[in-house]
Structure 1
Amino acid sequence: MQKQILLLLLSVIIISCKGSDSGYSDATAPDTFTATFETTKGNFEVEIKKAWSPKAADRFYNLIESGFYNNTLFYRVVPGFVAQCGSLDAFVMKEWEAVKVPDEPVLHGNKRGTVTFARSGKESRGLDMFINLYDNTPLDTINYEGVKGYPAFGTVTKGMDVVDKLYSGYGEATMENQAYYSSQHRMQGAFPQLDKIKKAYITSGK
Protein backbone atom coordinates (compact mmCIF):
# COMPACT_ATOMS: atom_id res chain seq x y z
CA MET A 1 0.00 0.00 0.00
CA GLN A 2 2.86 2.44 0.76
CA LYS A 3 4.27 1.98 -2.74
CA GLN A 4 0.84 2.53 -4.26
CA ILE A 5 0.33 5.75 -2.32
CA LEU A 6 3.76 7.04 -3.34
CA LEU A 7 2.98 6.35 -6.98
CA LEU A 8 -0.32 8.13 -6.56
CA LEU A 9 1.50 11.17 -5.22
CA LEU A 10 3.80 11.23 -8.21
CA SER A 11 1.44 10.19 -10.97
CA VAL A 12 -0.06 13.61 -11.58
CA ILE A 13 3.22 14.76 -13.12
CA ILE A 14 3.93 11.66 -15.22
CA ILE A 15 0.57 10.78 -16.72
CA SER A 16 0.36 9.91 -20.37
CA CYS A 17 -3.09 10.00 -21.90
CA LYS A 18 -4.15 12.26 -24.75
CA GLY A 19 -6.63 14.89 -23.64
CA SER A 20 -9.10 17.13 -25.41
CA ASP A 21 -8.55 20.13 -27.65
CA SER A 22 -10.44 22.43 -25.29
CA GLY A 23 -8.70 24.85 -22.99
CA TYR A 24 -9.16 26.27 -19.53
CA SER A 25 -12.51 27.53 -18.26
CA ASP A 26 -13.58 28.77 -14.82
CA ALA A 27 -17.36 28.58 -14.42
CA THR A 28 -18.75 28.08 -10.93
CA ALA A 29 -20.18 24.60 -10.42
CA PRO A 30 -23.64 24.05 -8.93
CA ASP A 31 -23.86 22.72 -5.37
CA THR A 32 -24.61 19.24 -6.71
CA PHE A 33 -24.25 17.89 -10.22
CA THR A 34 -24.05 14.57 -12.01
CA ALA A 35 -21.71 13.54 -14.82
CA THR A 36 -21.87 10.53 -17.12
CA PHE A 37 -18.74 8.78 -18.36
CA GLU A 38 -19.03 6.62 -21.47
CA THR A 39 -16.23 4.05 -21.45
CA THR A 40 -15.16 1.04 -23.44
CA LYS A 41 -16.66 -1.14 -20.69
CA GLY A 42 -19.97 0.73 -20.42
CA ASN A 43 -21.27 3.85 -18.69
CA PHE A 44 -21.03 5.04 -15.13
CA GLU A 45 -22.30 8.16 -13.36
CA VAL A 46 -20.78 10.27 -10.63
CA GLU A 47 -22.54 12.70 -8.33
CA ILE A 48 -20.44 15.65 -7.19
CA LYS A 49 -21.05 17.30 -3.83
CA LYS A 50 -19.51 20.75 -3.79
CA ALA A 51 -19.66 20.91 0.00
CA TRP A 52 -17.12 18.10 0.21
CA SER A 53 -14.39 20.01 -1.64
CA PRO A 54 -15.62 23.23 -3.31
CA LYS A 55 -12.53 24.10 -5.32
CA ALA A 56 -12.19 20.54 -6.60
CA ALA A 57 -15.85 20.46 -7.62
CA ASP A 58 -15.48 23.69 -9.61
CA ARG A 59 -12.41 22.36 -11.41
CA PHE A 60 -13.98 18.99 -12.16
CA TYR A 61 -17.10 20.66 -13.55
CA ASN A 62 -15.01 22.77 -15.92
CA LEU A 63 -12.79 19.89 -16.97
CA ILE A 64 -15.83 17.89 -18.02
CA GLU A 65 -17.52 20.83 -19.73
CA SER A 66 -14.35 21.50 -21.74
CA GLY A 67 -14.05 17.88 -22.89
CA PHE A 68 -10.82 17.34 -20.97
CA TYR A 69 -11.52 13.67 -20.20
CA ASN A 70 -12.79 12.72 -23.64
CA ASN A 71 -10.67 9.97 -25.22
CA THR A 72 -8.45 9.54 -22.18
CA LEU A 73 -7.18 6.20 -20.93
CA PHE A 74 -7.70 4.58 -17.56
CA TYR A 75 -3.94 4.22 -17.58
CA ARG A 76 -3.66 2.93 -14.03
CA VAL A 77 -6.09 0.38 -12.61
CA VAL A 78 -4.89 -1.46 -9.52
CA PRO A 79 -7.24 -4.04 -7.96
CA GLY A 80 -8.17 -3.13 -4.42
CA PHE A 81 -6.79 0.40 -4.83
CA VAL A 82 -7.74 2.88 -7.59
CA ALA A 83 -8.78 3.35 -11.22
CA GLN A 84 -7.06 6.49 -12.49
CA CYS A 85 -7.14 8.54 -15.68
CA GLY A 86 -5.60 11.77 -16.94
CA SER A 87 -4.16 13.63 -19.91
CA LEU A 88 -0.81 14.54 -21.40
CA ASP A 89 -1.83 17.03 -24.02
CA ALA A 90 0.92 19.51 -23.17
CA PHE A 91 -0.84 22.56 -24.60
CA VAL A 92 -4.13 21.91 -22.80
CA MET A 93 -2.46 20.91 -19.53
CA LYS A 94 -0.37 24.08 -19.49
CA GLU A 95 -3.51 26.20 -19.56
CA TRP A 96 -5.12 24.32 -16.68
CA GLU A 97 -1.96 24.09 -14.60
CA ALA A 98 -1.51 27.85 -14.80
CA VAL A 99 -4.51 28.24 -12.49
CA LYS A 100 -3.89 26.36 -9.26
CA VAL A 101 -6.55 24.54 -7.27
CA PRO A 102 -6.10 25.49 -3.60
CA ASP A 103 -5.61 22.60 -1.20
CA GLU A 104 -8.61 21.77 0.98
CA PRO A 105 -9.16 19.61 4.07
CA VAL A 106 -10.57 16.11 3.79
CA LEU A 107 -14.24 16.47 4.70
CA HIS A 108 -15.31 13.22 3.06
CA GLY A 109 -12.99 10.26 3.04
CA ASN A 110 -11.78 7.96 0.28
CA LYS A 111 -14.40 5.27 0.59
CA ARG A 112 -15.03 2.77 -2.19
CA GLY A 113 -16.60 4.52 -5.18
CA THR A 114 -15.53 8.04 -4.26
CA VAL A 115 -13.88 10.32 -6.82
CA THR A 116 -10.71 12.23 -5.91
CA PHE A 117 -7.96 14.22 -7.63
CA ALA A 118 -4.39 12.95 -7.64
CA ARG A 119 -1.66 15.39 -6.67
CA SER A 120 2.12 15.69 -6.43
CA GLY A 121 2.46 18.44 -3.83
CA LYS A 122 0.93 21.74 -2.79
CA GLU A 123 -1.86 23.06 -5.04
CA SER A 124 -1.20 20.37 -7.64
CA ARG A 125 -4.71 18.88 -7.78
CA GLY A 126 -7.03 19.40 -10.70
CA LEU A 127 -6.08 17.17 -13.65
CA ASP A 128 -5.87 13.43 -12.92
CA MET A 129 -8.85 11.90 -11.22
CA PHE A 130 -9.14 8.51 -9.61
CA ILE A 131 -11.98 6.34 -8.37
CA ASN A 132 -11.38 4.41 -5.18
CA LEU A 133 -11.91 0.69 -5.71
CA TYR A 134 -11.62 0.05 -1.98
CA ASP A 135 -12.00 1.95 1.28
CA ASN A 136 -8.61 3.69 1.03
CA THR A 137 -8.63 5.31 4.46
CA PRO A 138 -4.84 5.97 4.50
CA LEU A 139 -5.42 8.53 1.74
CA ASP A 140 -7.52 10.61 4.15
CA THR A 141 -4.60 11.47 6.42
CA ILE A 142 -1.33 10.86 4.58
CA ASN A 143 0.93 13.92 4.62
CA TYR A 144 3.09 14.73 1.61
CA GLU A 145 5.04 17.96 1.18
CA GLY A 146 2.99 19.63 3.87
CA VAL A 147 -0.41 18.70 2.42
CA LYS A 148 -2.60 16.33 4.38
CA GLY A 149 -4.94 13.89 2.68
CA TYR A 150 -6.81 13.57 -0.58
CA PRO A 151 -10.29 15.16 -0.38
CA ALA A 152 -13.00 13.19 -2.17
CA PHE A 153 -15.49 15.41 -3.98
CA GLY A 154 -18.00 12.94 -5.40
CA THR A 155 -19.03 9.33 -5.66
CA VAL A 156 -20.07 6.83 -8.30
CA THR A 157 -23.86 6.48 -8.03
CA LYS A 158 -24.48 4.23 -11.03
CA GLY A 159 -22.24 1.77 -12.83
CA MET A 160 -19.71 0.86 -10.16
CA ASP A 161 -19.86 -2.60 -11.71
CA VAL A 162 -18.53 -0.97 -14.90
CA VAL A 163 -15.65 0.61 -12.97
CA ASP A 164 -14.86 -2.76 -11.44
CA LYS A 165 -14.59 -4.24 -14.96
CA LEU A 166 -11.95 -1.77 -16.17
CA TYR A 167 -8.91 -3.71 -17.29
CA SER A 168 -6.54 -4.13 -14.35
CA GLY A 169 -4.17 -6.79 -15.62
CA TYR A 170 -1.24 -4.39 -15.93
CA GLY A 171 -1.45 -3.22 -12.32
CA GLU A 172 1.36 -0.76 -11.52
CA ALA A 173 3.37 -1.72 -14.62
CA THR A 174 2.04 1.31 -16.49
CA MET A 175 3.64 3.55 -13.87
CA GLU A 176 7.11 2.04 -13.91
CA ASN A 177 8.61 3.31 -17.17
CA GLN A 178 8.47 6.99 -18.04
CA ALA A 179 9.07 6.18 -21.71
CA TYR A 180 5.37 5.31 -21.89
CA TYR A 181 4.35 8.78 -20.77
CA SER A 182 5.19 10.66 -23.96
CA SER A 183 1.94 9.93 -25.78
CA GLN A 184 -1.29 8.00 -25.67
CA HIS A 185 -0.16 6.12 -28.77
CA ARG A 186 2.93 4.84 -26.98
CA MET A 187 0.95 3.89 -23.87
CA GLN A 188 -1.65 2.04 -25.90
CA GLY A 189 1.04 0.28 -27.88
CA ALA A 190 2.68 -1.00 -24.72
CA PHE A 191 -0.61 -1.73 -22.91
CA PRO A 192 -3.24 -2.44 -25.58
CA GLN A 193 -5.96 -3.65 -23.24
CA LEU A 194 -6.30 -0.40 -21.31
CA ASP A 195 -9.85 0.92 -21.21
CA LYS A 196 -10.80 4.41 -22.32
CA ILE A 197 -13.23 7.17 -21.44
CA LYS A 198 -14.87 7.83 -24.78
CA LYS A 199 -16.81 10.85 -23.58
CA ALA A 200 -17.74 12.59 -20.32
CA TYR A 201 -20.52 15.16 -19.93
CA ILE A 202 -22.70 16.86 -17.33
CA THR A 203 -26.11 15.20 -17.14
CA SER A 204 -27.82 17.13 -14.33
CA GLY A 205 -27.27 20.25 -12.26
CA LYS A 206 -26.34 22.61 -15.11
Structure 2
Amino acid sequence: MERKRALVCAGLCLVLAACSSPPPQQKEAAKEAPPPPAAPEKKAEEPRAEEKKAEAPGKIYRVKFTTTKGEFIVEVNRDWAPLGAQRFYELVKDRYYDDSGFFRVVPNFVIQFGLAADPKMTKKWDTPIKDDPVLRTNGLGTVTFATAGPNTRTTQIFINMRSNQRLDDQGFAPFGKVIEGMNVVERIYAGYGEMPDQDLITRQGNAYLKNKFPNLDFIKKAVIM
Protein backbone atom coordinates (compact mmCIF):
# COMPACT_ATOMS: atom_id res chain seq x y z
CA MET A 1 0.00 0.00 0.00
CA GLU A 2 1.31 3.38 -0.90
CA ARG A 3 1.13 5.97 1.78
CA LYS A 4 0.55 9.65 1.68
CA ARG A 5 3.17 11.88 3.18
CA ALA A 6 2.93 12.33 6.95
CA LEU A 7 1.57 15.72 7.98
CA VAL A 8 1.78 17.71 11.10
CA CYS A 9 0.04 21.06 10.80
CA ALA A 10 1.37 23.67 13.23
CA GLY A 11 -0.42 26.89 12.18
CA LEU A 12 -3.99 27.79 13.15
CA CYS A 13 -4.82 28.56 9.53
CA LEU A 14 -3.08 25.51 8.01
CA VAL A 15 -5.14 22.45 7.04
CA LEU A 16 -3.75 18.93 7.24
CA ALA A 17 -2.68 18.04 3.67
CA ALA A 18 -2.38 14.58 2.28
CA CYS A 19 0.44 14.18 -0.18
CA SER A 20 3.17 16.58 -1.13
CA SER A 21 5.62 18.25 1.20
CA PRO A 22 7.42 21.53 0.50
CA PRO A 23 11.09 21.79 -0.47
CA PRO A 24 13.45 21.27 2.46
CA GLN A 25 14.35 24.87 3.24
CA GLN A 26 15.40 25.35 6.83
CA LYS A 27 14.40 28.98 6.55
CA GLU A 28 10.82 27.81 6.16
CA ALA A 29 10.76 25.96 9.47
CA ALA A 30 9.34 29.07 11.11
CA LYS A 31 6.44 28.88 8.67
CA GLU A 32 5.54 25.53 10.17
CA ALA A 33 5.12 23.65 6.90
CA PRO A 34 2.82 20.70 7.55
CA PRO A 35 4.47 17.27 7.88
CA PRO A 36 3.53 14.65 5.28
CA PRO A 37 0.67 12.29 6.21
CA ALA A 38 1.46 9.16 8.15
CA ALA A 39 -1.20 6.87 6.84
CA PRO A 40 -3.96 6.63 4.26
CA GLU A 41 -7.28 8.13 5.27
CA LYS A 42 -9.31 5.08 6.16
CA LYS A 43 -11.23 4.14 9.25
CA ALA A 44 -9.51 2.28 12.03
CA GLU A 45 -10.07 -1.47 11.92
CA GLU A 46 -9.67 -4.34 14.30
CA PRO A 47 -5.99 -5.41 14.47
CA ARG A 48 -4.89 -8.48 12.55
CA ALA A 49 -3.80 -11.56 14.47
CA GLU A 50 -0.12 -10.59 14.48
CA GLU A 51 -1.02 -7.20 15.93
CA LYS A 52 -3.02 -8.45 18.91
CA LYS A 53 -1.94 -6.60 22.00
CA ALA A 54 0.48 -7.92 24.56
CA GLU A 55 -0.15 -5.55 27.40
CA ALA A 56 2.89 -3.84 28.89
CA PRO A 57 3.14 -3.93 32.69
CA GLY A 58 1.72 -0.85 34.39
CA LYS A 59 0.57 2.41 32.91
CA ILE A 60 4.10 3.80 32.44
CA TYR A 61 6.93 2.23 30.47
CA ARG A 62 10.17 3.44 28.92
CA VAL A 63 11.79 2.85 25.56
CA LYS A 64 15.50 3.28 24.91
CA PHE A 65 16.45 4.38 21.42
CA THR A 66 20.00 3.70 20.31
CA THR A 67 20.73 5.87 17.28
CA THR A 68 23.62 6.86 15.06
CA LYS A 69 23.90 10.00 17.20
CA GLY A 70 23.64 8.31 20.60
CA GLU A 71 20.88 7.22 22.99
CA PHE A 72 17.68 8.81 24.19
CA ILE A 73 14.83 7.52 26.35
CA VAL A 74 11.11 8.03 25.88
CA GLU A 75 8.77 7.60 28.84
CA VAL A 76 5.26 6.58 27.81
CA ASN A 77 2.19 7.19 29.96
CA ARG A 78 -0.88 5.16 29.01
CA ASP A 79 -3.13 7.69 30.74
CA TRP A 80 -2.13 10.34 28.21
CA ALA A 81 -3.23 8.39 25.11
CA PRO A 82 -4.08 4.73 25.80
CA LEU A 83 -4.48 3.54 22.22
CA GLY A 84 -1.37 5.33 20.99
CA ALA A 85 0.67 4.09 23.94
CA GLN A 86 -0.39 0.50 23.26
CA ARG A 87 0.34 0.67 19.54
CA PHE A 88 3.79 2.13 20.23
CA TYR A 89 4.47 -0.68 22.71
CA GLU A 90 3.49 -3.33 20.15
CA LEU A 91 5.66 -1.73 17.48
CA VAL A 92 8.71 -1.60 19.73
CA LYS A 93 8.18 -5.22 20.87
CA ASP A 94 8.06 -6.25 17.20
CA ARG A 95 11.36 -4.39 16.59
CA TYR A 96 9.58 -2.26 14.03
CA TYR A 97 11.77 0.82 14.49
CA ASP A 98 15.12 -0.97 14.34
CA ASP A 99 17.31 0.45 11.55
CA SER A 100 14.65 2.97 10.50
CA GLY A 101 15.59 6.51 9.50
CA PHE A 102 14.77 9.97 10.79
CA PHE A 103 13.44 10.86 7.36
CA ARG A 104 11.93 14.27 8.15
CA VAL A 105 13.70 16.86 10.27
CA VAL A 106 12.37 20.43 10.42
CA PRO A 107 14.52 22.49 12.81
CA ASN A 108 12.61 24.15 15.63
CA PHE A 109 9.48 22.16 14.74
CA VAL A 110 9.55 18.34 14.55
CA ILE A 111 11.69 15.26 13.96
CA GLN A 112 9.78 12.42 12.32
CA PHE A 113 10.36 8.69 11.92
CA GLY A 114 8.37 5.48 11.61
CA LEU A 115 8.70 4.01 8.12
CA ALA A 116 10.37 0.64 8.55
CA ALA A 117 13.69 -0.46 7.08
CA ASP A 118 11.89 -3.38 5.41
CA PRO A 119 8.79 -2.56 3.31
CA LYS A 120 7.23 -5.85 4.44
CA MET A 121 7.28 -4.59 8.03
CA THR A 122 5.71 -1.29 7.00
CA LYS A 123 2.94 -3.23 5.25
CA LYS A 124 2.42 -5.49 8.26
CA TRP A 125 1.53 -2.54 10.47
CA ASP A 126 -0.54 -0.45 8.08
CA THR A 127 -3.86 -0.98 9.89
CA PRO A 128 -4.77 2.34 11.56
CA ILE A 129 -5.95 2.78 15.12
CA LYS A 130 -8.64 5.09 16.41
CA ASP A 131 -7.78 8.50 17.79
CA ASP A 132 -7.18 9.25 21.45
CA PRO A 133 -8.50 12.47 22.98
CA VAL A 134 -5.82 15.10 23.42
CA LEU A 135 -5.11 15.20 27.15
CA ARG A 136 -1.57 16.65 27.08
CA THR A 137 -0.14 19.53 25.12
CA ASN A 138 2.44 19.05 22.37
CA GLY A 139 5.25 20.52 24.41
CA LEU A 140 8.98 20.38 23.80
CA GLY A 141 10.16 16.76 23.76
CA THR A 142 6.71 15.18 23.66
CA VAL A 143 6.17 12.22 21.34
CA THR A 144 3.07 11.99 19.15
CA PHE A 145 1.71 9.92 16.27
CA ALA A 146 1.53 11.63 12.90
CA THR A 147 -1.77 11.34 11.05
CA ALA A 148 -3.42 11.79 7.66
CA GLY A 149 -6.79 12.70 9.13
CA PRO A 150 -9.12 11.29 11.80
CA ASN A 151 -8.43 7.72 12.93
CA THR A 152 -5.41 7.15 10.67
CA ARG A 153 -2.53 6.58 13.12
CA THR A 154 -0.31 3.66 12.16
CA THR A 155 3.46 3.81 12.77
CA GLN A 156 4.86 7.27 12.14
CA ILE A 157 5.95 9.30 15.15
CA PHE A 158 7.21 12.82 15.62
CA ILE A 159 9.14 14.43 18.44
CA ASN A 160 8.19 18.03 19.14
CA MET A 161 11.30 20.19 18.98
CA ARG A 162 9.57 23.14 20.61
CA SER A 163 6.22 23.89 22.20
CA ASN A 164 3.72 23.12 19.42
CA GLN A 165 0.58 23.81 21.42
CA ARG A 166 -1.34 24.72 18.29
CA LEU A 167 -1.31 21.06 17.30
CA ASP A 168 -3.49 20.19 20.29
CA ASP A 169 -6.70 21.48 18.72
CA GLN A 170 -5.98 19.50 15.57
CA GLY A 171 -6.16 16.15 17.35
CA PHE A 172 -2.48 15.27 17.82
CA ALA A 173 -2.38 13.41 21.13
CA PRO A 174 1.03 13.02 22.82
CA PHE A 175 1.56 9.64 24.47
CA GLY A 176 5.03 10.16 25.92
CA LYS A 177 8.05 12.39 26.28
CA VAL A 178 11.81 12.27 25.84
CA ILE A 179 13.11 12.23 29.42
CA GLU A 180 16.79 11.59 28.71
CA GLY A 181 19.01 12.40 25.76
CA MET A 182 17.19 15.39 24.30
CA ASN A 183 20.64 16.73 23.44
CA VAL A 184 21.08 13.63 21.26
CA VAL A 185 17.76 14.26 19.53
CA GLU A 186 18.82 17.84 18.82
CA ARG A 187 21.91 16.59 16.96
CA ILE A 188 19.99 14.41 14.51
CA TYR A 189 20.99 15.39 10.98
CA ALA A 190 18.68 18.05 9.54
CA GLY A 191 20.38 18.72 6.22
CA TYR A 192 17.84 16.85 4.09
CA GLY A 193 14.82 18.55 5.62
CA GLU A 194 11.79 17.05 3.91
CA MET A 195 13.55 15.69 0.82
CA PRO A 196 13.09 11.93 1.42
CA ASP A 197 10.02 10.69 -0.47
CA GLN A 198 7.71 8.75 1.83
CA ASP A 199 6.16 6.75 -0.99
CA LEU A 200 9.60 5.53 -2.03
CA ILE A 201 10.54 4.74 1.57
CA THR A 202 7.32 2.74 1.88
CA ARG A 203 8.06 0.77 -1.29
CA GLN A 204 11.84 0.40 -1.04
CA GLY A 205 12.72 0.94 2.62
CA ASN A 206 16.36 1.54 3.47
CA ALA A 207 17.52 0.56 0.00
CA TYR A 208 16.23 3.97 -1.04
CA LEU A 209 17.18 5.98 2.04
CA LYS A 210 20.75 4.77 2.43
CA ASN A 211 21.50 5.16 -1.25
CA LYS A 212 20.05 8.64 -1.72
CA PHE A 213 20.65 10.19 1.71
CA PRO A 214 24.01 8.97 3.04
CA ASN A 215 24.15 11.45 5.93
CA LEU A 216 20.73 10.54 7.30
CA ASP A 217 20.64 9.43 10.94
CA PHE A 218 19.03 6.11 11.87
CA ILE A 219 17.62 4.26 14.85
CA LYS A 220 19.88 1.27 15.46
CA LYS A 221 17.41 -0.30 17.86
CA ALA A 222 14.51 0.59 20.15
CA VAL A 223 13.80 -1.61 23.18
CA ILE A 224 11.45 -1.66 26.16
CA MET A 225 13.43 -0.98 29.32
Q: TM-score range by the shorter chain?
A: 0.7 to 0.9
Identity level (%): 38
What is the aligned residue count? 187
Indicate conservation of the 8 Å contact 2:16/2:148, yes or no.
no
Indicate conservation of the 8 Å contact 1:9/1:119, yes or no.
no
Report matched runs for 1:40-55 at 5 Å. Answer: 40-55=68-83
Report which of the two has the higher share of strand: 1
Report matched runs for 1:60-99 at 5 Å. Answer: 60-88=88-116, 89-98=118-127
Change (3 A) 1:82 1:4: farther
Determine helix, strand or coil for the equivalent of 1:33: strand
- Give the AA of the match of 1:190: K
Partner of 1:130: 158
Q: Distance in 2 between matches of 1:61 and 1:179?
A: 26
Indicate conservation of the 8 Å contact 1:69/1:197, yes or no.
yes
Partner of 2:191: 169
| CA deviation string 1:92-120 (max 9, x = no partner) | 3333233x311111100110100000111
Q: 1:182 aligns with which of 183, 203, 219?
A: 203
Q: Distance in 1 between matches of 2:61 and 2:209?
A: 32
Partner of 2:27: none
Report matched runs for 1:105-120 at 5 Å. Answer: 105-120=133-148
- Give the AA of the match of 2:203: S
Partner of 1:10: 36
- Give the AA of the match of 2:146: A
TM-score (normalised: structure 1): 0.82
| Shift in Å, 1:72 | 0.2
Unaligned segments of structure 2, at least 5 residues: 1-9, 22-33, 41-49
Determine helix, strand or coil for the equivalent of 1:138: helix
Change (3 A) 1:25 1:93: farther
Q: Distance in 2 between matches of 1:187 and 1:193?
A: 10
Indicate conservation of the 8 Å contact 2:143/2:157, yes or no.
yes
Unaligned segments of structure 1, at least 5 residues: 15-22, 143-148
